[in-house]
Amino acid sequence: MPIVVNLDVMMARRKMSLNELSEKVDLTLSNLSILKTGKAKAVRFSTLEAICKALNCQPADILEYVENNKQ
């Protein structure tokens, strides 16, 4: 998938655990884990906004587009 989720990288930079982020953004651990592992098919803007606010970052710090170069 060409969209890479770097949530774990930002959490590590901010020294924040999954439990702590879950509490701050009011999202279940399982849903946050699905997003963190890149298995989510979609993310709501309100969720992305809450994560960015909690981690003091921009959406581009969390989501990255990587072009597939399979030929």
Q: Which domains does the chain have, with CATH numbers?
A: 3-65 (1.10.260.40)
Residue 8 has what DSSP assignment?
H
Rounded mean pLDDT of 19-31? 95
Report which of residues 42 and 2 the model is more confident about.
42
* pLDDT of 11 above 60: yes
**CB-count burial class (<10 Å; 0-12, 13-18, 19+) for 48:** middle
Q: What mean pLDDT do residues 38-60 have?
A: 95
- Per-residue pLDDT at 10 exceeds 80: yes
